[in-house]
Structure 1
Amino acid sequence: MNLASTAYSSSAYSYPKSRFEPTVLVDLNSRAERERLSKSALLGFFKLAGAWQLRDEDARELLGGLSASSFYDWKKNPERVLDVDRITRISYLLGVYKALHILYGEELADEWVQLPNSNLIFGGRTPLALMLGGGLLAMQTVRRLLDARRGGL
């Protein structure tokens, strides 16, 4: 009896088909993808900054330390191509915004980032303070916490 004739084939060990398709990852190293996403990312970020009532200095810091002149230029004219770091930052922040609006009512969702938080991650600070001090990794942490709370992870 040879192995080819056994009842067990490699397909017997494959995962069953799912009605859920895996998300196609966006290649942010592709300039074309960044061109496609940049304007809407900036418009979303400025909407978020308004909803969270961010000070301009804090909004600039969340964008990675953007100068005041560049910040106001971007606000007036969001037609530009962002670098990978800035698109990633905005992506995390928009994910936080979305998760907050799924988890909480409108008012609390927009206030949450400015409220002191007793979760060990925040140590009594506000989520905004954590993200301002911790940069990209802190934004990722807050996003993952909220996604876990809403059952997304």
Structure 2
Amino acid sequence: MHLVAKHPEPDITSGDAGRVALTFFFSLMEHWGCTKDQQCTLLGSIGNTTYFKYKKLPNVRLPHDTLERISYLMGVHKALRILFSNQPERAYEWVHKPNTAAPFNGQSALSYMLAGQVVDLADVRRYLDGVRG
């Protein structure tokens, strides 16, 4: 009889998970060329004090809403990296380009996400997952 070692589920509420999520977020924001205000909106309209605390990449237990937002942004990033696998720079430019497809109706994906609701990030991820097939 073989015993299979059970790996504990990762604790996404741990301070270490928060630091990893923020590291990803700020790296992506640099690639996308987002302003501080845009970053604050994407993180859930956080205040300046919280923003500058997060920029130090502390071990911090992030609120569920913030983790959910970063998770959707990870999904958007992953889908774009797959769609533009031969041209990574286009994956970063895509969020800035006007898009006539629903749900964007002529605005860029970034403008759409900057409406500030979690569902706006989810919509962009869902759209890209649909394009990816």
- The interval holding the TM-score normalised by the smaller chain is 0.7 to 0.9
Higher RCO (CA < 8 A, seq sep 6+): 2
Question: Does the 8 A contact of 2:22 with 2:57 survive in 1?
Answer: no
Structure 2 length as normaliser, TM-score? 0.85
Alpha-carbon separation, structure 1, partners of 2:127 and 2:100? 13
Which of 37, 40, 54 lines up with 1:60 in the alignment?
Answer: 40
In structure 2, the gaps of 5 or more residues are 1-8
Name the counterpart of 2:22: 42
Larger Rg: 1
**In structure 2, which of residues 72, 82, 95 is the aligned counterpart of residue 92 of structure 1?**
72
The answer on whether the counterparts of 1:43 and 1:78 sit within 8 Å (CA) in structure 2 is no
How far apart are the structure 2 equivalents of 1:120 and 1:144?
Answer: 11
Give yes or no for contact 2:42–2:116 (8 Å, CA) kept in 1.
no
After TM superposition, give the deviation of residue 89 of structure 1 in Å: 0.3
Within the candidate set 121, 131, 136, 2:113 is matched to 131
> Identity percentage over the alignment?
38
Q: For the residues of structure 2 that align with 1:77 and 1:95, how far apart are their CA atoms?
A: 21
Task: Give 1:78 deviation, angstroms.
Answer: 2.8
2: CA distance, partners of 1:134 / 1:86: 12
Amino acid at match of 1:125: Q
Q: 2:81 aligns with which of 101, 115, 126?
A: 101
From 95, 120, 127, the equivalent of 1:113 is: 95
Q: What is the alpha-carbon root mean square deviation over aligned residues?
A: 1.6
Indicate if the aligned counterparts of 1:115 and 1:127 stay in contact, CA closer than 8 A. yes
Aligned to 1:33: 12
What SS does structure 2 have at the residue aligned with 1:34? coil
Q: Kindly state the Cα deviation for residue 141 of structure 1 after the two structures are TM-superposed.
A: 0.8
**Any stretches of 5+ residues in structure 1 without a counterpart?**
1-25
